[in-house]
Each structure stands twice: as structure tokens, then as C-alpha cells.
Chain A
Amino acid sequence: MTCTEFLSKLDDYFDGKVDADLLAEVQAHVKKCSHCEVVMDTTRKTISIYRENEVYEFPEELRERLHAAIMKKCSKAKA
């Protein structure tokens, strides 16, 4: 497995969607290629940082205001 092939399998690997043969290939590649090991590890961290941290705040006050505006618009359309 080349580094490019490894990268193309990364998504399926993270999702646990690789079969046993491919999994063995991916793991063997990471074992011998320290660059890909770092890329895999830091890409995984990139995803989790964005997933776990609220990048944009959505304060309750804003939610209520938006919610009211949406429902008002819809009820007007119905009338």
C-alpha cells in the first residue's frame, strides 16, 4: 500500500468500514510509515476538536428570537 492509497482509505478506516484484509494492510502501512502514522493521528484529532468544541455559539436568546421569527413567518404564510 502506498501513502496515497493509505490516505484514500482514511475515511473508511475512521468509520470502521474496511474489511479485515484492508484493515491489515492499513495497519501494516502505518507501522512502517511514520509520516502516515502522524497524519492519521493528527487528522483524527482535527476531526474530534471540531466535533467536540462549539466553534460558533448559539446562545439561548438567539435561539428563542430565531424560533419566534420562523414560526411567525410560517403562520403568516398559512393565514
Chain B
Amino acid sequence: MPAIQSQVAEEVHPDVALVARAKQGDTAAFEQLVRQYERQIFRVAQHITQNREDAEDITQDAFFKAYEKLDQFQGNSKFSTWLVRIAVNESLMRLRKRKTSRTVSMDEDVRTEDGSIPRDFAEWRPNPEQLYGQGELGEILRKTIQGLPAGFRTVFTLRDVENLSTEETAEALGLSVPAVKSRLLRARLQLRERLSRYFRQTNEGANP
């Protein structure tokens, strides 16, 4: 039945063949995987660590680890999710090393209850991005996400910046689906609240 066959064929992710070739020692296949995901891995690492040098190191380390452990990749998840998981672990480890006085883990922020309940109910001005120049907007977005606890920042990055599904995010972070959902809600609400300072409709100007 051709219809069913084509349906099955569509479900096989193109990475599967590349990973199979890479496992057999095909460096060109692995290089293609690197090319496909280096931008994403760098972005994830930079979002979590907020540090470009760390993100560069993590990107290299994550791909190297993936290369070394390729045999252990069973294909139960997408290759990209597996790779993101390695990069997230490397990033959190890096944060722990850097912030010796503070523990950094995916569990730490569960206790941070405040700052999630909406307080600002002002509407935003239309096309808020156009209120600022590209450089200034980037600065606002970086400063705002930097203020989030690492665990929230990580969930938001995977779900909303990288567009992973809730299930993929849970898998990449070793969290349950409800835990991802609860962190994502808080992360989104905290970011929204902070961005409102810049984008809300006021008579006093846009700056907080």
C-alpha cells in the first residue's frame, strides 16, 4: 500500500541516516551534523551561560562528547535533542564552576515563587520592537533574560527560542513534562513582566 509506505518514510528524520553513517566512521556525515546544529548549540550555551567564551568552549566540548559517545546514542530520541542535552549539561556545569557561591541546578529555582504572578496589566504599545534600534533592542532582550534564574532561562530557551516541544525539552533537561510546563509558565511571565517596563503604554515615556 503506497500511501502507508510514504507515510512511514516521512517519519524517518534525515539525521537518522547521517548518524548511522557517522557511527560507521564517516567523518563527512558527522561534519554535516555539526554544520546543522552548531548555531543552535552555540545559542543554547550562550543563553544559559550568558558568556560568549564559555559558549564557544561548550559548543566544542558538546560536539566532541557527542562524537565520542555516538555509539551510546540509541536513537530513542532525536539526535538534536540528545545533542542539546549534552550542551545543557555542559552549560550548567560551567555555571556551577563560575558561581561558586550559588548552586545552579534545574531544581534550584522551584523555590523561587515570587516574580511569576502577573502584576503589570498595562498593554504594550503596537510594534514594541520598533521603539528601539536593533542594537538597543538586543541589549534589552539580553539584560532581561539574564535576570532570570538559570533553570527558567534554560527552559525558556529550549521551548521558545529553539522551538523544542514540551516533551523534547523534558527529555533534554531530564525533567518531567509538568515540571517543564510549570517552569516555562514562570519564565514567560517573569520575562513578560520585565519587558513591560520597556514596552508598556505609558504617558511617561518608554524607559523604566
Interface residues of A (CB under 8 A from B): 7-8, 10-11, 15, 34-35, 38-39, 41-43, 45-47, 49-56, 58, 62-63, 66-67, 69-71, 73-75, 77-78
With an 8 A cutoff between CB atoms, is B59 at the interface? yes
Q: Does B20 belong to the interface (CB within 8 Å)?
A: no
What is the interface residue range for chain B against chain A?
35 or more
Q: A7-B185, A11-B184, A77-B68 are in contact. Are A66 and B59 (CB under 8 A)?
A: yes
User: Which residues of chain B are near A56, meaning CB under 8 Å?
Assistant: 42-43, 46-47, 52, 55, 142
B118 near A11: Cβ-Cβ < 8 Å:
no
In the complex, what residues of A have CB within 8 A of residue B156's CB?
50
Using A11-B184, A58-B42, A74-B67 as known contacts, say yes or no to A38 and B123 having CB atoms under 8 A apart.
yes
Number of A-B contacts (CB under 8 A): 114
CB distance from B42 to the nearest CB of A (A): 6
Contact A51 B161 (CB under 8 A): yes
Q: Is the CB of A62 within 8 A of B160?
A: no
Ordered nearest first, which 3 A-B pairs have the shortest CB separation? Answer: A46-B192, A70-B63, A74-B67
Q: Is the CB of B34 within 8 A of A38?
A: no
Binary flags per residue of B136-157, CB closer than 8 Å to A gives 1, else 0:
0110011001000000000010
Interface of A is mostly: helix
Nearest CB of A to B123, in Å: 5
- CB-nearest residue of chain B to A38: B121
- Contacting residue for A78 out of B27, B38, B60, B166, CB 8 A: B27
In the complex, the answer to whether A55 meets B121 with C-beta atoms within 8 Å is: no
Any chain A CB within 8 A of the CB of B163?
A: yes
**B interface residues, Cβ below 8 angstroms from A:** 25, 27, 30-31, 34-35, 38-39, 42-43, 46-47, 52, 55-56, 59-60, 63-64, 67-68, 118, 121-124, 128-129, 137-138, 141-142, 145, 156, 160-161, 163, 166, 181, 184-185, 188-189, 191-192, 195-196, 199
Decide: A43 near B43, CB < 8 A? Known: A11-B166, A35-B121: no
Give the residues in chain A near B192, CB-CB below 8 Å. Answer: 39, 42-43, 46
Cα–Cα, bound, A52→B68 (Å): 34
Specify which chain B residues have a CB less than 8 angstroms from the CB of A71 in the assembled complex.
Answer: 27, 31, 34
